[in-house]
C-alpha cells in the first residue's frame, strides 16, 4: 500500500511540473505574439508613401509636358509651318537674284583676270623696249653690229562685259533681274585675244 501511495504522489508531482511547464511555454508564446503585433512599421510606411508621392508628382509633370507638346504641335502645324512655307515661296525670288549676282561676280572676276594679264604683258613689253634701247645705245658706242629691232607690239583691246547689259540707263531694275546675267557674254580666249569677237566694245567695267 505504501508503494502505491508513493507512486501516486510521484505521478501527481510529475503532472504538476508538466502543467507548469506548458503554462510557461504558453505565456512565452503569447508574449512573443504580442511583441510581433506591436511591431512599429511607421518608418517603412512613411518611405512607401514618399515613394508613391514622388511617382505621382513625376507622372503629373509628364502629363503636363505631353499637353505642352501637343499644344506646340498644333501651333506648329496650323500656324508656324504655313508661315514658313509662305516665306520660302517669297524667298525664291531672292535666291534667284543671289544666284544671278554670283554669276555676275564671276563675269567681273573673269574680265578682271583678263585685264590683269593684259597689264602684266604690257609691263613686260615696256620693260623689254627700254632694255633694248639701252643695249642699242651701248652697241653704237662700242661700234658693234646693230641689233635687229623687235617688231612693234600692237595693243589689242580685250573683250569684257558691258555694264549696259546689266545696268540699263533708263531703268531702275537691278542687275540681278536682267536675263543677260544668266547667259553672259562669251569668255574671250586669254591666250589669243585677237580670236575673240570685237563687235561688242565695252563702255565701262564698273557701275
For 159, phi then psi, to 5°, come to -90, 115
* pLDDT higher than 80, residue 179: no
* pLDDT higher than 50, residue 193: no
Q: What is the mean pLDDT of the chain?
A: 72
* pLDDT higher than 90, residue 176: no
Would you kindly state where each structural domain of the chain is located, as residue ranges? 10-38, 40-193
Q: In the predicted model, what is the mean pLDDT of residues 106-134?
A: 80
Percentage with pLDDT > 90 across the chain: 12
* Tally of CB atoms within 10 A around 103: 15
Q: In the predicted model, what is the mean pLDDT of residues 79-88?
A: 87
- Work out the pLDDT band at 110, boundaries 50, 70, 90: very high
Q: What is the DSSP secondary structure assignment for residue 36, as one 8-state letter?
A: H
Look at the block and give the residue holding cell 512655307.
85
Largest CA distance in the chain: 185
* pLDDT higher than 50, residue 205: no
E strands, 44-197, where?
none
Nearest to 153, CA basis, from 116, 185, 194: 194
Q: Please give the pLDDT value at position 207.
A: 35
C-alpha 172/C-alpha 167 separation (Å) is 8
Amino acid at each position: 500500500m505504501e508503494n502505491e501511495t508513493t507512486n501516486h504522489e510521484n505521478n501527481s508531482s510529475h503532472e504538476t511540473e508538466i502543467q507548469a511547464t506548458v503554462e510557461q511555454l504558453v505565456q512565452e508564446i503569447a508574449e512573443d505574439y504580442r511583441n510581433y503585433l506591436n511591431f512599429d512599421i511607421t518608418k517603412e510606411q512613411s518611405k512607401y508613401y514618399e515613394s508613391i508621392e514622388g511617382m505621382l508628382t513625376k507622372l503629373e509633370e509628364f502629363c503636363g509636358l505631353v499637353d505642352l507638346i501637343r499644344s506646340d504641335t498644333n501651333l506648329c502645324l496650323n500656324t508656324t509651318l504655313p508661315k514658313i512655307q509662305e516665306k520660302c515661296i517669297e524667298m525664291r525670288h531672292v535666291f534667284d537674284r543671289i544666284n544671278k549676282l554670283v554669276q555676275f561676280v564671276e563675269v567681273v572676276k573673269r574680265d578682271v583676270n583678263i585685264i590683269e594679264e593684259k597689264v602684266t604683258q604690257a609691263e613686260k613689253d615696256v620693260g623689254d623696249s627700254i632694255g633694248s634701247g639701252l643695249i642699242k645705245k651701248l652697241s653704237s658706242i662700242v661700234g658693234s653690229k646693230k641689233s635687229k629691232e623687235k617688231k612693234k607690239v600692237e595693243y589689242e583691246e580685250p573683250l569684257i562685259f558691258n555694264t549696259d547689259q546689266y545696268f540699263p540707263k533708263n531703268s531702275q531694275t537691278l542687275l540681278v533681274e536682267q536675263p543677260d546675267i544668266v547667259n553672259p557674254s562669251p569668255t574671250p580666249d586669254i591666250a589669243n585675244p585677237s580670236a575673240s569677237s570685237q563687235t561688242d566694245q565695252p563702255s565701262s567695267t564698273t557701275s
